[in-house]
Amino acid sequence: MDFMGGIVIWGGVALAAAVIGGIIAGMKNRDYSSWIAWCFVLPPLVLVLLLLPRHQGQRPRQPRLDESERGSW
């Protein structure tokens, strides 16, 4: 396998890990957008997500830009 083949395989693994991480994060009531990003960058984090317990209560969400700037005026 040449260098380009390795890059293609790594890209496929990263995309698959991002999709799987997003699905698992949704099932475990976690913030799926951040888990998709982290599982894309570091695919082994899918295993960490599998080991985490289900989050109780509402799904945590990241504040949007407008919400964080409201009190700065």
- pLDDT above 70 for 5: yes
Domain containing residue 17: 7-50
Is residue 57, in this structure, part of any structural domain at all? no
Residue 29 lies inside a defined structural domain of this protein? yes
Average pLDDT over residues 20-35: 92
**Residue among 5, 54, 67 nearest 25 (CA):** 54
Q: Is residue 24 scored above 90 in pLDDT?
A: yes
Task: Evaluate whether residue 40 is within a structural domain.
Answer: yes
Q: Is residue 11 part of a domain?
A: yes
Does residue 21 lie within any of the structural domains? yes
Number of C-beta neighbours around residue 28 at 10 A: 16
62 in a structural domain: no
pLDDT in tens, 31-61: 889 999 999 999 999 999 999 998 887 776 7
For residues 52 and 34, give the distance between their C-alpha atoms in angstroms, rounded to a whole number: 15
The string of DSSP codes covering 18-73 is HHHHHHHHHHTTS-HHHHHHHHHH-TTHHHHHHHSPPPPSSPP-PPPHHHHHGGG-
Number of domains in the chain: 1
pTM: 0.77
Q: Is 45 contained in some domain?
A: yes
